[in-house]
């Protein structure tokens, strides 16, 4: 089953602020999440109910999965030192 990947407007802004080379790498990972939202290397965030994190070099994609509707919603795209801040 294929999932639809949606970015919140804030996540889209986060992505557009990054260097073009990083944007390309993250776009590839987002396409991979559409095929498998829980790939090898993904981590479930322990303090949140349905949040997941995947690494792309020094950057992180934080997202939630709705298996019933087959949607992956990207909440944050940021450098690892900033991604978990409010």
Cβ contacts of 44 within 8 Å, gap of 6 or more: 51, 52, 53
Q: Report the C-alpha gap between 1 and 43 in whole angstroms.
A: 21
Identify which of 59, 73, 75 has the alpha carbon closest to the alpha carbon of residue 18: 59
14 lies in which domain range?
Answer: 4-79
Domain count, the chain: 1
Q: Is residue 85 part of a domain?
A: no
For residue 33, the domain's CATH number is: 3.30.2310.20
Q: Is residue 56 part of a domain?
A: yes
Q: Is residue 51 part of a domain?
A: yes
Q: Is residue 30 part of a domain?
A: yes
Identify which of 73, 68, 84 has the alpha carbon closest to the alpha carbon of residue 12: 73
Residue range 14-47, pLDDT digits in tens: 999 999 999 999 999 999 999 999 999 899 988 7
pTM for this entry? 0.91
């Amino acid at each position: 089953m294929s999932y639809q990947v949606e970015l919140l407007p804030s996540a889209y802004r986060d992505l557009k602020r990054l260097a073009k080379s990083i944007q390309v790498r993250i776009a590839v990972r987002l396409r991979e999440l559409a095929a498998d939202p829980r790939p090898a290397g993904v981590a479930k965030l322990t303090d949140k109910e349905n949040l997941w994190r995947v690494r792309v070099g020094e950057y992180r994609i934080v997202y939630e999965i709705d298996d019933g509707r087959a949607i992956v919603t990207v909440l944050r795209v940021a450098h690892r030192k900033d991604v978990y801040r409010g």
